[in-house]
Amino acid sequence: MRNKSPRARAASASLDIILPLASKLSLVQMRDHLRLLAGLIDHPGEAAEAAARFTPDSMAWCLTRMAQDLDDVIVAAHPKLN
């Protein structure tokens, strides 16, 4: 039985990325923001009062914050992409 070459082993290995704690926190916050937005869209009757207070400015802030969180995670995973 022939052993795999280092290139073949590397190609078949899983890609593990270790993120700093701050990046993990960014992902958790982004998940929570997405759940909030999904809840407002999916259940407008139940969340009508909260949705009424969710202004375009707060929606823009939420989306901008999620984009910043994604940027932080991407840079942490691949510093050379910054």
d(C-alpha 78, C-alpha 81), whole Å: 6
Q: What CA–CA distance (Å, rounded) separates 78 from 82?
A: 8
Domain carrying residue 77:
54-82
Task: Give per-residue pLDDT as tens, 26-82.
Answer: 888 889 888 888 877 776 666 666 666 677 888 888 889 889 888 888 888 876 765
Q: Is residue 60 part of a domain?
A: yes
Q: What angle do CA 60, 35, 33 make, to 5 degrees?
A: 35
Higher-confidence residue of 19 and 53: namely 19
Asked, for residue 73, whether it belongs to a domain, the answer is: yes
User: CA 32, CA 78: separation in Å to the nearest integer?
Assistant: 24
62 in a structural domain: yes
pLDDT at 42: 73
Task: Answer whether residue 79 is part of any domain.
Answer: yes
Determine, yes or no, domain membership for 75. yes
Q: What is the pTM of this model?
A: 0.57
Count structural domains, the chain.
Answer: 1
- Domain membership of residue 63 (yes or no) is yes
Instruction: In whole angstroms, give the CA distance from residue 75 to residue 82.
Output: 6
